[in-house]
Chains A and B, each alone.
Chain A
Amino acid sequence: MTVMTYRDALNAALREEMRRDDRVFLMGEEVAVYQGAYKVSKGLLQEFGEMRVVDTPITELGFAGVGVGAAMVGLRPIIEFMTWNFALLALDQVVNAAAKMLYMSGGQFAMPMVFRGPNGAALQLGAQHSQAWESWLAHIPGLKVVAPGTPADAKGLLKAAVRDDNPVIVLEGEMLYNMKGEVPDGDHVIPLGVAEVKRVGEHVSLISYGKMVNVALQAADALARDGVHAEVLDLRTLRPMDVPAIVATVRKTNRCVVVEEGWELCGLGAQVADYVQREAFDWLDAPVLRVHQAEAPMPYARTLEKHAKPDVAKTVAAARKVLYLD
């Protein structure tokens, strides 16, 4: 185990995969000379050269399409979006091209590529830069979607994403890049589609993913002070979702709170709640509750922003509610 930041874990994953396979290249805005808007690609230009670490014009649609074309003819592109907010311009390439090429071509053209970048809100970036897109992306057949919440998962899931022959969306977090954590040494690859119990408990299941996992873990700590043992299930992969893991934890604890970053309507937690009602109905002792962003564009004002975001207090309150403690 080595303690490193989430940023360095991603950097290590990129470096290791680019060393392992020379079809892998990184493309995006500011990834090369600037070393990455968030320094995730630090040192890669120096090691791999400008053909494999490619700065692009500010053209999300354009360079996402370049990635698709390169993947069609045998390369394994990693397309970095400076944030997923900007990637909306590229959704035609992600959704209409990458996700469908294999299907439309009757299995001839696989899309072994990764689209990655920070997702969701950071701090006071305002309405256009503070959005969580996971439910949009996880909606699309033909994509895989991962949302690592710790440095170890960031490394292991990104490496798995690069090796996968399908288009994989990697949702990172601006607020996570500086987070430190233990990362297993060696070739740390985490299989896609497998959730992880981050904390064992028996009273209530907190199901989460991405940076919200840390909210759930802190909520579990707070609950433990009152003698409530929350189990924290980190979905890690949002598509395909590890339904057996969801069912197992809810059947064990009988109570479920989903902690998600996006908005409520059609949000990711709605799907989790659906799996729970379908597969664990007779084990439920309370309705499934969801902690999510308020149904408003993200405000700039600090106090309003805090009010809008899912957080530890809201998670604790939801957990206590399903436990009938309040």
Chain B
Amino acid sequence: MMARKKPDAASAALNRELLHSMLLQRRFEERTAEAYALGKIGGFCHLYIGQEAVSTGSLSQLRPDDYVITTYRDHGQALARGMTPRAVMAELFGRSDGCARGKGGSMHMFDKQLGFLGGHGIVGGHIPIATGVGFAIKYRGGDQVCVCFFGEAAINNGAFHEAANMAALWKLPVIYVIENNRYGMGTAIERASAINDIYERAQSYDMARDVVDGQDVFAVREAIGKAVQRARADSMPTLLEVRTYRFMGHSMSDAVSGTYRTKDELEEYLKRDPIALLRSRMEEAGEISADEIAAMDAEVKAVVQDALDFADASPELPLEALWENVLVDTTSDAGAMPARAG
């Protein structure tokens, strides 16, 4: 399982983009943890560190008009989809310039322009929504796809099964990506699921399925590429299990290791840091030098510092904002709008 693959035919330039994307997520979240500790960020905050190959590998295969929907562990995917570090950090700070005006927070990043349909806070609740996006694509006769991320714990949730059944029944272009990081909060997969190879659940719905090493960005890209092709060309869904690991606790209030996983286990996985793996392969292939890596890292750190400065300077929301966006203010005169727009 998870046989190491050689770098695919992607150019060195693409590999640099992948590395840059993953590094940005890593540095961004390291500073996020720091800002959280300083009280700049509140509430629930779930870090993605260790899983960056999943977001970058997946989303690097999408078109701008495709759709992405995910869970509350959404910072990395927001950045990988192209949201600016400024908009994401300002959202974490709960400020006016956040990607959701500071009304969403860590768990609810949204960007309509990028087809980023949100981080969602109820485990499994967004999976049927992804099915609905797939339905809308088919309804309009489009060839977009919808990628839906969720953790391995959500697979046991009724919402997953209802949504997966309908997607297979109606042949919808949705790619369900299980980010199997082994723990649903503190409950190991073996203690929650009757089977360990959870991608096999797709068999129940006669849905295409695959399993892939989530620490290997190329492997993720390849598997997602096939699924995107299946969705775009044939309007068929896929269930893709990506095996990964989070290097941090479930949330900021959870110890990195302790009651439910050992330090030894964590250290074993840390050896397969997706960023380190990509970097060493690029170095082996002579695609990048140590100096170039250091320069990239410095540049990324500066971008993240800029995001922090921007978020800090971004205005607090005016109190009137409390009442805004509860409802759309005006009733639409839908008849006057071009149908099929959207």
Contact = CB atoms under 8 A, between A and B. Distances in A.
Direct contact of A and B (CB under 8 A): yes
Interface of A: 20-23, 25, 51-52, 56-57, 59, 61-77, 92-93, 96-97, 101-110, 112, 141-142, 144, 160, 162-166, 191-192
Contacts of B222: none
6 contacts: A69-B130, A73-B67, A74-B341, A93-B125, A97-B120, A106-B99
A109 B333 CA distance: 17
Contacts of A77: 132
Contacts of A105: 100, 103-104, 108, 110, 112, 118, 325
Contacts of A71: 132
B237 interface: no
- Count chain B CB atoms within 10 A of each CB in A52, A59, A160 and give the residue with the most: A59
A141 B132 contact: no
A75 B326 contact: no
B164 to A, nearest CB: 9
Nearest to B69: A69
A35 to B, nearest CB: 20
Contacts of B166: 56-57, 59, 62-63, 66
Contacts of A52: 139
Nearest to A76: B334
Nearest to A99: B326
A192 B330 CA distance: 11
A96 B72 CA distance: 13
Contacts of A142: 326-327
B110 A104 contact: yes
A62 B165 contact: yes
B265 to A, nearest CB: 33
Interface string B85-126: 000000000000011111110001011100101101110011
B340 A23 contact: yes
A92 B67 CA distance: 22
B79 to A, nearest CB: 17
Interface in B184-207: none
A110 B328 contact: yes
Given A74-B342, A165-B328, A66 B101 contact: no
Contact of B342 (A23, A51, A104, A106): A23
Nearest to B166: A62
B163 A65 contact: yes
B266 to A, nearest CB: 33
B101 A61 contact: no
A102 B325 CA distance: 6
A270 B7 CA distance: 67
Given A57-B166, A108-B110, 17 more contacts: A62-B159, A63-B162, A65-B127, A65-B129, A66-B135, A66-B163, A69-B128, A70-B135, A75-B140, A75-B342, A104-B104, A104-B108, A105-B104, A106-B102, A109-B112, A164-B328, A192-B331
B325 to A, nearest CB: 4
B153 interface: no
A144 B327 contact: yes
Nearest to A167: B327
Nearest to B137: A73
B131 interface: yes
Contacts of B278: none
A227 B166 CA distance: 59
A69 B174 CA distance: 12
Interface string B256-297: 000000000000000000000000000000000000000000
Interface string B126-148: 11111111111111100000100
